[in-house]
Each structure stands twice: as structure tokens, then as C-alpha cells.
Amino acid sequence: MSEEMKTILDIKNLDISFRTNAGTVHAIRGVNLNLCKGETVAIVGESGSGKSVTMKAAMGLLDANATINSGEILYTYTNTSGEEVTVDLLKMSKKEMRQHINGKRIAMVFQDPMTSLDPTMTIGRQIMESMFLHKKMSREAAKARALELLQLVGIPDAEKRFKNYPHQLSGGMRQRVVIAIALSADPNVLICDEPTTALDVTIQAKILELIMDIQKKMGLSVIYITHDLGVVAKVADYVDVMYAGKIVEVGNVNEIFFEPKHPYTWGLLSAMPDLDTDEERLYSIPGSPPNLLHEPKGDAFTARNRFALAIDEKAEPPMFQVSRTHFAATWLLHPDAPKVEMPPELKTMLERARKEAEKYL
């Protein structure tokens, strides 16, 4: 992780709202996010915090009732003549997105493998489709490549599976097929939207390892959308914690797990089950996320924050820099703020986790 790291996807000040029957929902309120070549970034947050919407915007898959109020998503790639080009994905039409970006350069793995494959088409054809679209491959070449991909994602008996329909495969196998589809046109960015949430635990680790393995082999940059901190710890280089349409804390994985600064991140980490917890009950963050139909006043987390300061109700905190890579949006980091430490229970838990981790290093 040094200067040679090139930014491949740069989301700047993204602001999106949705028109609904109840009114305008301001779902994304100024998101900044940065993905470098070969890196893995995880976006963490509760349901409805805007993780998926942010990434859908980068795929040109936003629903018709979404309005992009401001911001840009800069994507940098090397074009066919070897030049480096940077484009704003938000300025591209749907057609341009489909022709030049989707599948070809940025691909996506969806949450539910049970519903994300077309039930009436063999998996072989579904894998080959992108190759025909983006690479103008011949049938034979595409088939050979598809079989290769099936083997790469760990599907035994690829030749036979090639002719299968989705319903003939188990959930784990289907997710492997979805991954194979995403990889079929050699993208350089892979967006995984909760790729293991719908799978059972024994398969989860296998799928994650598979994605990491492929990432290394193909030099992919990967964005994970997840609410599972276990997944984050396993795969991520950098973590973006998202709350109510904003990134509230960002840092590398060690900073987020061992020196979190934002009370929301504290809450998330405390809610993670731990084998040594003495408490009878698992901690959960009180309350629920704000309804973004109404613009939150001050810091959106105030109502659920037991460390809230008076200023939290009045003004939204800016991003305070903690280290070169670590930022958090909480007034607690202001030089004038009272010194508040993370809860002692969390501190001992993280200490324990760190020792545990060191054993394996």
C-alpha cells in the first residue's frame, strides 16, 4: 500500500434521493469513497443505510424513481489503445453504461443466488452471454472459456453443469455460477452485494475464499457490501462504515477493528458475538436508523448515541482525520470535545481479539 496504488473508482460527494408516495427520501447524503487497484474495500452498515444504492449508482442500475442530485463517480481504466481514461459514470447514458462498463469493466455479484439466475436459460448460455456481448467471441472460444470459469469457481463436472438449468444446482453452486458470470468478460472491478448473506455458514467461507483467490489471480479490485463484520475482517483492506446515507468512519481494517473512533462503529463492533463474552445478552444498538423522509437535524446518529454531545443536535460533524488513512465523522474527535473513550467492555473484547489475531501472525 504505497504511492503506486492507483485510484480506480472514486466516488465524490454522491447525493441521491428517491421520489416515493410518501415524499422524497434523501437516501444518500454526500458519500465519498475511494477504491484503489487491487484493493478490497468493504462498505458496512445496517439495512437501509444506502450501501447498495451507492453501488447501484456505479452500475447504472438505479430504479426509475431515483434522482442524482450531485456528485460524481470517476472510473479510471486503460482503453484499447493503451491510454488511461477517466470517465464520470453518472454522466453516461444507460446504453453507454451497458455497452462499455457493465460486465465488461465493472461486474456485480448479487445477494440472492436463488433468484438472480434466469430460470429458463442454461447456466452455460448465461455465462457465455457477456463474452458474446463484449468480446465478440466465437461459440467455441466462449464455451471453452466458460468451462474454464466453471472450473475456476470450483464447480466439479463443468462439462455436465454447463448444460444444466439453475434449479438443478444448490444455492452455493448457483452463487459460484453468478461469480463465473461476473468474471466472464474480464472486468477489473467486482462489486459483491452481500454475496454470502443468503448462503449457509459452511458455504460462506468457501465463497469468500473463492472471491479472494480469484481477486489475486485476476488482479481485481473488489467492493464488498455487507453488514457482517466477520466478512469484513476476513476480506477487507479498507472499511467504510455507512450510516443514514453517509460514510461516518473510514480506515484500514486494523484501524476500524482495533481503534474505532465513531460511536456507531463502537456499537457495531459491540454487537458482534464473541466466544468469550461474559454478558448474558448480546449487545445491540438501541433504536433504529432515522427515517430519511425527514432530513435529520445535526448528526443523524445522535438519538441512538449514548455519547452524544450538545453540538450533535445542532450541527453535522465533519470528517476528522485520525491517521493518514483513518477518518471519522464525530464531534468527539474535535479538539474541544471532552475525552470520551470507547466502552470498556468493547475495549477488553477488542484487546482479546487482537491477542488472538497476533497468535496467527
Using CB under 8 A, which of the segments 68-76, 78-86, 113-121, 231-239 binds another protein? Answer: 113-121
Q: What is the spatial distance between Cα 357 and Cα 234, in angstroms, rounded to a whole number?
A: 12
Using the minimum distance from each CB to another protein, give the nearer residue, 66 or 340.
Answer: 66
Q: Identify the CA nearest to 189 among candidates 33, 325, 68, 324.
A: 33
Binders of another protein in range 120-149 (CB under 8 A): 120-122, 129-130, 133-134
What is the DSSP pairing of strand 106-109 with strand 189-193? parallel
Q: Is 259 exposed, middle or buried (0-12, 13-18, 19+ CB in 10 A)?
A: middle
Using CB under 8 A, which of the segments 4-12, 74-82, 108-116, 283-291 binds another protein? Answer: 108-116
Sheet strands side by side (includes 320-321): 106-109, 189-193, 221-226, 40-44, 238-243, 246-252, 327-328, 320-321
Q: Identify the CA nearest to 259 among candidates 332, 345, 323.
A: 323
Using the minimum distance from each CB to another protein, give the nearer residue, 165 or 258.
Answer: 165
Using the minimum distance from each CB to another protein, give the nearer residue, 115 or 288.
Answer: 115
Using CB under 8 A, which of the segments 3-11, 76-84, 117-125, 248-256 binds another protein? Answer: 117-125
Q: Shortest gap between Cβ of 63 and another protein (angstroms)?
A: 9
For Cα atoms 49, 54, 55, give the angle at the middle one, nearest 5 degrees.
Answer: 120
Q: Is 321 left (phi over 0), alpha (psi -120 to 50) or beta?
A: beta
Q: Shortest gap between Cβ of 107 and another protein (angstroms)?
A: 7
Binders of another protein in range 55-74 (CB under 8 A): 59, 61, 64
β-strand partners of 176: none
Residues in contact with another protein, counted by CB under 8 A, come to a total of: 35
Sheet strands side by side (includes 7-20): 23-36, 7-20, 66-78, 84-88
Assess 110 for contact with another protein (CB under 8 A): yes
What 3-state DSSP class applies to 289?
A: coil
Using the minimum distance from each CB to another protein, give the nearer residue, 8 or 241.
Answer: 8
Binders of another protein in range 179-198 (CB under 8 A): 181-182, 184-185
Q: Is 194 left (phi over 0), alpha (psi -120 to 50) or beta?
A: left
Rg over alpha carbons for the chain, rounded to the nearest Å, is: 21
Using CB under 8 A, which of the segments 105-113, 145-153, 249-257, 296-304 binds another protein? Answer: 105-113
Q: Identify the CA nearest to 38 among candidates 83, 76, 5.
A: 5
Using the minimum distance from each CB to another protein, give the nearer residue, 40 or 116.
Answer: 116
Q: Shortest gap between Cβ of 155 and another protein (angstroms)?
A: 17
Using CB under 8 A, which of the segments 39-47, 107-115, 239-247, 299-307 binds another protein? Answer: 107-115
Assess 75 for contact with another protein (CB under 8 A): no
Q: Which residues bind another protein (CB under 8 A)?
A: 59, 61, 64, 94-95, 98-99, 101-104, 107-108, 110, 112, 115-122, 129-130, 133-134, 165, 167-168, 178, 181-182, 184-185
